[in-house]
Structure 1
């Protein structure tokens, strides 16, 4: 589904009228295309720590145009604010106000990225206050940026360096067009695990990935993106979607498995299919899900049970089979699709929100179980995404849903797919048990 309004106000007469009337003018976002530059314009790295120096040197090795000091009126592609040695709230003022002086020089779809430490209970009260202050600062700044620019943060656990593999991978993700609809969010790099791919255009080369709910919409977009990034695909969906599933499988040169994921043996059947057809299984993407919306006062057993069964209970059963299998022990990756409804709630979706909240709880609790074999499990939480489902929402409600975020537009299925592909990569091995919102910084929820 296309957002005709955004197209209209970015060209010709529509652009002129919108500007004169003071109407919202959502920017056309810079989305990833193979072969395009990582970032458009110079990258300003600010910070006086060893981590800032090491990071700047690493970015130079990527052939980026790196600045350590701002040049007035020079259009910037990104500002990276290294705040990894804060000890008290007063330490924020100098680097933050220094970055503020360059904000007007940001180009369209530019990036602002903070690199900081977590506000751990083991830190002193002053240090924890300074670190938590980065959260409030970054999320507020994201709501001030314009022209498709975004602001996101990377949080480095104690002992993790700014140039660790997953820190660099997260930085590349946030700098690139892959993160077009991610705004005001943080990724935590918990360990030094992970390694950067020899080819950034094919980070999933040699991997076998399973995608559930792959016949249409976001699932099909995930399949296409993983295929583009080099993965071999096993696509799963219910028999009723068999024709669509086969078409997508043929498109990405994968295999199709018609399967009801709620069946007790679904996990083992997925494993057997992947191993028999492709010799291994490395990645599982839990995308399949349903909605059965109703106000709680009108909710019945069928609506409640079916949503909880498909959206979370099935994932739990499949994960149990994966964790028990000898074929899923070589740095495996699981990525689940949650929802901002599970974070902020949504009227008429108590069952759906409960299931998606459950997904996030499952991810956090399962992280140590995957880590034993060098694996990870993470989730993405989409907001308003332009799909056939959102196209059926009444016009007025749909328009509000689209505009109620910092980027003033809906996301694309590819935006969800890009985040999943990143979290499924070996480079993201230091990110585990995290939830990344793909919502353009929706103005409700955390």
Structure 2
């Protein structure tokens, strides 16, 4: 669906008129295109004194990506990104110089620029001052993200369990946040733990999912079809799954991505066995499963019938649990599972008690499944979309739809490809250190945490 207002205030006569009238002007977001540079300008790496060693290591890694990396702020540069390394800050007073130096260049941050913090998560045994400092970085990042303009975003890499700033997963997460693939990810902090995974992404010229087999449920149309296309673009062979009633659209998606189609109701008892058998028999392996299939049956709780509650829970939650049980029992090495949650499962939504329950349940089982997969080198994560421009949201009444679009910091809805890009990142081997996390793709929507 088209956001006509955003298009209008960024082109032609209506752009000029909007400027004169002082109307809000949501930016045209920069999204991934093959061959485009990673950032829109030089990258400034700042740090407090204690974190200088980590900042040096990070800057060296960025130089390896053919980026123009600077260590000192200047007034003659249109910055593509500002990276604040605060990994060793131990007291609240340690961060002032770094954050104020970043503030001094924000007016020269290019449109669709990036601000990224790299910090460490609070841990058991931290002193009160250390815990306050580390948690303070989170609040700083979320706040500065709300101050950015012209499509710029702010996100944070939060290291856990002694993970290094130049570890594979830390660098993969930083690269995702710097890139156009994270266009609609804003105000998010992603925890990254240590991993033995080897880098296999754009940094080596190899497509990140090359040679891997991925299953996408609900793949016939909408977000599911977009996920299948992005995974295929990144090198995966994709098994597209959807109900028999969507067979024609499912076949079209599978043909478009060079994958195979599996007509299947995910709520059946043997869905997991059939998915695993299809992947192994047709493609020899299974590496990634994306639980995208979902439905809505919205009603106020006072008006809700058992069929409306039960059907939503069956498709959105119980099916994922049943399929995961089969996959875990199969003992697949390095399996990555990415599930679709929702901001409705974080903040709730009127008329969606069934949907909110199911999506919060997805977040719960993702965190529990993460530990079960970690021992075999796998990971489980979830993506929580906000307002995404789909056929479903196009049916929302006009006034409600416009309010929903403008509430995020980015003042617009996302696109299905934005969700797909986040899923493709989490599905990549390089992101193996990201486990049990929920990544919101919501333009920093004003709901939840």
TM-score by length of 1: 0.98
Aligned to 1:10: 10
Aligned to 1:155: 158
- Partners of 2:43 and 2:192 lie apart in 1 by 22
Structure 1 position 335, deviation (Å): 0.2
The answer for unaligned runs of 5 or more in structure 1 is: none
Structure 1 residues 100-141: Cα deviation after superposition (integer angstroms, max 9, x where no partner): 001011001000000001122321100000111011111011
Aligned to 2:220: 215
Aligned to 1:202: 207
Structure 1 position 200, deviation (Å): 4.7
CA contact (8 A) 1:109 1:148 kept: yes
Aligned-residue Cα RMSD (Å) equals: 0.9
- Partners of 1:75 and 1:12 lie apart in 2 by 25
CA contact (8 A) 1:34 1:201 kept: no
TM alignment of 1:35-434, pairs within 5 A: 35-47=35-47, 48=49, 49-197=52-200, 199-200=204-205, 202-326=207-331, 329-434=332-437
Aligned residues: 444
The answer for unaligned runs of 5 or more in structure 2 is: none
- Partners of 2:400 and 2:437 lie apart in 1 by 30
CA contact (8 A) 1:195 1:429 kept: no
Label 1:440 to 1:200 Cα distance change in 2 as closer, same or farther (>3 A). farther
CA contact (8 A) 1:166 1:193 kept: no
SS of match in other structure, 1:445: coil
- Partners of 2:31 and 2:197 lie apart in 1 by 25
- Partners of 1:289 and 1:212 lie apart in 2 by 9
- Partners of 2:81 and 2:414 lie apart in 1 by 22
TM-score by length of 2: 0.98
**Which region of structure 1 is more displaced relative to structure 2, 198-207 or 27-36?**
198-207
- Partners of 2:299 and 2:447 lie apart in 1 by 21
Structure 1 position 40, deviation (Å): 1.3
SS of match in other structure, 2:80: strand
Label 1:411 to 1:200 Cα distance change in 2 as closer, same or farther (>3 A). farther
- Partners of 1:319 and 1:19 lie apart in 2 by 52
Structure 1 residues 169-214: Cα deviation after superposition (integer angstroms, max 9, x where no partner): 0011001000000000011112233221164561100000000000
Runs of 4+ in structure 1 over 6 Å off: none
**Which region of structure 1 is more displaced relative to structure 2, 53-62 or 348-357?**
53-62
- Partners of 1:314 and 1:155 lie apart in 2 by 32
- Partners of 1:64 and 1:234 lie apart in 2 by 36
- Partners of 1:278 and 1:7 lie apart in 2 by 43
- Partners of 1:283 and 1:262 lie apart in 2 by 19
CA contact (8 A) 2:162 2:193 kept: no
Label 1:376 to 1:200 Cα distance change in 2 as closer, same or farther (>3 A). farther
CA contact (8 A) 1:26 1:148 kept: yes
